[in-house]
Each structure stands twice: as C-alpha cells, then as structure tokens.
C-alpha cells in the first residue's frame, strides 16, 4: 500500500519555490502592475480581457495594449515571467501578472482557455505533456522547439525564441545515501526503492517526466514506495532531503540547493529527461492584438538569447536563497544586460 504524506506550505514558503519543468506551487491570478511600480505579483483577481488595445501606453516603442502573463508555481518560472514582463513594459505594454499559479496541470488549461496570454514554458516538458509522452523531445533544443511548434499550431499558440539556459529534472540524494547504497545512476534505485523515503511532487503520477520515467524506465512502483508530497524543485523539497526527511528528491538542475547542500545528482542513464530550454508561449490571438509575432520576438528573443544556464543559476540564488524580490532581480539583470530601452 502506498504511503503518502503531504506537507502543506504557507505563503511564506511558496515564494521560495524553485526552478523545474514540472513545478507546482501556490498563488492566485494577480492584478496588473503598471510600468515602473514596485513589488511582486498582486493576489487581487483580474477580470481584464485578453490583450486589450488602449489609446496609449508608456514605454520606449509606442506599443499599446495589455498582455497578461502567467507562470508556474516555482520561482524560476515566476522570475522568467517577471523578466519578460518588464521588457514588455519597457516597450510600451501594460502587463498583468498572474505569477505562481501552480503546476502545468493547472497552467496549461488556463492558457488554452485564455485566462492569460503568455507564460514562460519549458519546451521539452511542455512538448511531452501535450503529446502524452510520445518521446518527441530530445537533448536537441532546436529540434525540440520545432516539434513543439507543430503541436502548438493545433492550439493556435506560438513559442518565441528559447533560452540558451537549459534546465532538466534531476533526482538527487545525499552523499551519505549514495555511499551507503552505491547509488550513482537512476537505474540503481529499483533494487533499493522500498528502503528509501521519496520526495515527489503531487502531480508526479500523471507527469510523464516524473511518474512515467520512474515507472516505465526505472522500474519504480509508485503504489508501494514511501512518498512525501512536496512541491517540485522547491526549497522545502531540498530542505527535507538535507534534513533526512526524504532520501530521494526531485529537484532541478539549475537549483542552487544542489551545490549548497552537496547533493549527488543521479545520472539519467535511460535518457528520460529532455534538455529544457525556456521560451515564452503566446496565444496567437494575443500575439496578433499586440502587433504580431515578429514585433514581440524583437523584444523578447534577445532576452532569451542572453539567458545562459550560468546566469539563470546565479539569478536563482538571489531569489531562492537570498530571498530577493523577483522584480528587483529581474530589473538588475535586464539593466546589466542592456536589455531595457
């Protein structure tokens, strides 16, 4: 019989949620924030229509309109959403933030339904989510992006340019666990799975890159192992692993806690995890109302191109470990990279 323990997180902990392609988390749709205002996403509900043309808008390019941006529940997704939001604001758009909404099971239907207009997405994970784990994603980011766009065409959506930065799901253990049980790769886990306490996200069983990979490729029986449910790639997940509350945890390769605590990343020897670059995914209706894909790509593609894996890890440290606000970190990086008008 499967043993589940769910750890509830308060609002103060949710802001610590980190980077991951399968991330979840809390947060409700936020109200708009006009260019130049301070703070992170509001929790006031927004009833604004999608990408509403306006008479005028501040900013450098003369662009007009409102774009609603959502994000997954973990902090890397929210940070990238904030970076894209500030760039759009700097170029004349009003942006409404709906940050840290939750896992892809929540955000994808919301984007399909037009609850918001764009969100930063992980191209490999989104592709496998849409195609129900058909195995189209690979370590080739360009090929994965092309395959994703074919799927997005059916949804009347478009992915703009993807980041140089790549994040992947990672299953990690403490050094003492690796030494005691001779663990170096994921295939080593099957023989000792019942002797381990697992930290997995609530949506793992339905996520092809979590439950699908563990069950189909690595022989892990999710119905019998001892599972504590925690938000993926989050500070609470990392803390539980470090403190011994769990022995195996799903983190993300750009998560600073891995180096901070000296965790061992188990090799994905079956190659189940795609290289997840990040790209802003728009509803086509919103793109057209905002001036077209080319106009928004001219603003956002340089940002994606400038975001390296090393840069993303450094920004995650500031948000996840130093607990700086998303908007401050985003503004600093955009300014340093000369990406604001």
Q: pLDDT over 70 for what percent of the chain?
A: 81
Q: What is the pLDDT of residues 134-185, one digit of tens each?
A: 989 998 999 999 999 999 999 999 999 999 999 999 999 999 999 999 999 9
> Hey, what are 34's tokens?
């006009």
- Report in angstroms the alpha-carbon separations of 55 from 50, 64, 66, 284: 16, 7, 11, 22
Q: What is the pLDDT of residues 317-329, one digit of tens each?
A: 999 889 999 999 9
pTM for this predicted structure: 0.72
| More confident site: 167 or 97 | 97
Residue among 67, 165, 81 nearest 124 (CA): 165
Contact 285, 156 (CB under 8 A): yes
Q: What is the mean pLDDT of residues 241-261?
A: 95
**Which pLDDT band holds residue 231 (cuts at 50, 70, 90)?**
confident
d(CA 113, CA 332): 33
Q: Give the distance between the most distant pair of CA atoms in the chain.
A: 66
Q: What is the pLDDT of residues 5-40, one digit of tens each?
A: 433 333 333 333 333 443 333 322 222 222 223 333
Contact 254, 265 (CB under 8 A): no
Pick from 19-23, 76-80, 88-92, 135-139: least confident: 19-23
Contact 288, 159 (CB under 8 A): no
Angle at 119 between CA 210 and CA 166, to 5 degrees: 55
| More confident site: 2 or 71 | 71
DSSP 172: E
Q: What is the pLDDT of residues 38-58, one digit of tens each?
A: 333 332 323 333 333 332 333
The chain-wide mean pLDDT, for the chain, equals: 84
> Would you state the pLDDT for residue 321?
87
Strands 94-102 and 66-72: parallel
Q: Which residues pair with 249 in a beta bridge?
A: 172, 199
Q: What is the pLDDT of residues 259-272, one digit of tens each?
A: 899 999 999 999 99
**What is 168-265's CATH topology?**
D-Maltodextrin-Binding Protein; domain 2 (3.40.190)
> Would you state the pLDDT for residue 139?
85
CATH 3.40.190.10 maps onto the chain at 17-167+275-336
Q: Which residues contact 109 (CB under 8 A, 6 or more apart)?
A: none
Q: What is the mean pLDDT of residues 282-304?
A: 98
> Would you state the pLDDT for residue 63?
60
Query: CATH code for 17-167+275-336?
Result: 3.40.190.10
Indicate the SS3 state at residue 130. Answer: helix
- Report in angstroms the alpha-carbon separations of 8 from 124, 241, 274: 29, 16, 30
> Hey, what are 50's tokens?
């999608």
> If phi over 0 gives left and psi between -120 and 50 gives alpha, with beta otherwise, what is residue 16?
alpha
d(CA 84, CA 104): 19
Tell me how long the chain is: 341
pLDDT reading at 4 higher than 70 = no
- Report in angstroms the alpha-carbon separations of 201 from 100, 190, 248, 256: 15, 19, 12, 19
Q: pLDDT over 90 for what percent of the chain?
A: 73
> Would you state the pLDDT for residue 2?
36
CATH 3.40.190.120 maps onto the chain at 168-265
HSE (side-chain half, CA atoms, 13 Å) at 245: 18
């Amino acid at each position: 019989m499967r043993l589940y323990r769910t750890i509830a997180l308060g609002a103060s902990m949710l802001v610590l949620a980190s980077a991951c392609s399968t991330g979840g988390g809390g947060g409700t749709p936020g109200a708009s924030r006009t260019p130049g205002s301070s703070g992170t996403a509001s929790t006031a509900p927004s009833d604004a229509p999608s990408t509403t043309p306006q008479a005028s808008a501040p900013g450098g390019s003369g662009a007009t309109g409102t774009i609603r941006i959502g994000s997954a529940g973990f902090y890397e997704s929210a940070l990238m959403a904030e970076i894209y939001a500030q760039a759009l604001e700097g170029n004349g758009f009003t942006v409404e933030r709906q940050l840290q909404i939750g896992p892809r099971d929540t955000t994808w239907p919301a984007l399909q339904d037009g609850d918001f207009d764009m969100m930063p997405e992980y191209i490999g994970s989104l592709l496998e989510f849409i195609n129900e784990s058909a195995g189209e994603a690979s370590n080739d980011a360009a090929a994965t992006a092309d395959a994703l766009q074919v799927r997005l065409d059916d949804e009347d959506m478009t992915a703009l340019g993807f980041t140089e930065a790549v994040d992947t799901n990672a299953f990690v253990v403490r050094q003492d666990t690796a030494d005691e049980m001779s663990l170096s790769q994921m295939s080593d886990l099957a023989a000792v799975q019942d002797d381990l306490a697992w930290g997995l996200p609530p949506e793992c069983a339905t996520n092809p890159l979590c439950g699908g990979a563990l069950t189909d490729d690595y022989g892990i029986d999710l119905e019998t192992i001892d599972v504590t449910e925690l938000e993926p790639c989050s500070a609470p997940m990392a803390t539980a692993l470090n403190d011994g509350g769990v022995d195996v945890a799903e983190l993300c390769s750009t998560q600073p806690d891995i180096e901070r605590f000296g965790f061992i990343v188990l090799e994905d020897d079956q190659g189940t995890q795609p290289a997840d670059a990040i790209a802003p995914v728009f509803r086509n209706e919103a793109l057209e109302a905002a001036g077209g894909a080319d106009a928004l790509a001219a603003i956002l593609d340089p940002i994606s191109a400038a975001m390296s894996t090393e840069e993303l890890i450094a920004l995650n440290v500031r948000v996840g470990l130093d607990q700086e606000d998303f908007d401050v970190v985003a503004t600093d990086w955009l300014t340093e990279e000369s990406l604001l008008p």
